Amino acid sequence: MTSLVSLLPNNAHALIVGGTAGIGAAIAHKLALALPPTSQITIAGRNATAAQRIIDGIRNDISTQGDTIASAGATMNFAAVDCGKMSDVKRFCKDYRRNVLQEPTHKLDLLVLSPGILAMDGRQPASPGSTLDLKMSLHYYARMLIIRELLPCLAENATVLSVLDGKRSDARAPGIKWDDMDLSHPGNYGVSKAAEHCLTFTDIQLQDFAEQSNKDTTSHGAPHRTFIHAYPGIVATELFNTPRLPWYVRLGAKGFAAVLAVSPETCAERLLHGVAECKEKDLAGGEASTVAASPKGLWNIDDKGKILTNKNRADRETVEKVREHTWHAVDSQPADA
């Protein structure tokens, strides 16, 4: 099967948000070793020290493998962003477009979104003064805001990957609280309910992006932008050791992960294979998805990188409702939140 790297230009620009640990870091590592020095990968997150360790590790791997990857080794850099603060997400996107892409010099070819948190506590502000929940901000609102802000600078054949749970997501999930979409009303919030909202809205909002971006893929030079919601499976990342979980939950989770989890490297390899298959199908110009009523450029893949064909898609009224809620939610946050 074609590799994703072969589908990217030699001067590709890739942005990995949430790339300072876990799956995002593993994806950055694999891409950096395979892409040529003329390409550039930006790792974005809050932890500059962790990002530097990743970048140093990649450079060390390049130097120690010698001629086997003599033509590889993407240029690496770090950019700070706090995905709990919508104002900082907007600042980050503006800076990235100006300083890294140097608009209009470069376009963004690959955007990977994997910021997240594993916690069992109740609804808590994403940042001081915010009306949004932290988990929902990291898993949904910040990710969609990043796509919106960077949409004008996406390459015509760009790929966007959101790693959350494209397997269990359902655009027609019956349990969505449509009168309280951010789950701010008393008694509505719960960890499973927040997850259901984020998964459902991710499918729907990516559908909206795909429809906007690929309005006419029949004409010569038309865009073939690809939007993918991926399920990573059970992955042995630092999240299982987070202090946000009670000690007994951490102990059980680590034992569970030791038996069933795959490494971040294995997960990254599988997801990148799946992304390449989706991208290849889009570029072929045929049916972009085997899912009924699915717009061109919209995909869901599982933890093996397999394309999922049993997904529901939203009707126009639902798409518009999610879009209106999402942009109102992120744009109504205080200037410092």
Query: What pLDDT does residue 38 have?
Result: 94
DSSP string, 157-222: EEEEEEES-TTT--TT-TT--TT-TT--STTT--HHHHHHHHHHHHHHHHHHHHHHHTS--SSTT-
pLDDT digits (tens, 9 = 90+) for 199-246: 999 999 999 999 999 876 555 556 789 999 999 998 886 654 555 545
Which residue, 62, 94, 76, 104, is CA-closest to 19? 76
Residue 327, C-beta contacts closer than 8 angstroms, at least 6 positions apart: 148
pTM above 0.85, yes or no: yes
Given the candidates 3.40.30.10, 1.20.120.1230, 3.40.50.720, 1.10.10.10, the CATH classification of the domain at 5-329 is: 3.40.50.720
pLDDT digits (tens, 9 = 90+) for 107-119: 999 999 999 886 7
Instruction: Provide φ and ψ at 210, rounded to 5°.
Output: -65, -40
Residue 59 pLDDT grade (very low, low, confident, very high; cuts 50, 70, 90): confident
pLDDT digits (tens, 9 = 90+) for 168-197: 999 999 999 999 999 999 999 999 999 999
In this predicted structure, which of 109-118, 127-136, 249-258 has the lowest mean pLDDT?
249-258
In this predicted structure, which of 27-36, 68-77, 300-309 has the lowest mean pLDDT?
68-77
Q: For residues 272 and 64, which has the higher predicted lDDT (pLDDT)?
A: 272
Q: Supply the DSSP symbol for 230.
A: E
CA dist 97 and 78 (Å) reads 14
Residue 31 pLDDT grade (very low, low, confident, very high; cuts 50, 70, 90): very high
In this predicted structure, which of 136-145, 214-223, 227-236, 261-270 has the lowest mean pLDDT?
214-223
Mean pLDDT, the chain, rounded, equals 88
Residue 66 pLDDT grade (very low, low, confident, very high; cuts 50, 70, 90): low
Domain boundaries, the chain: 5-329
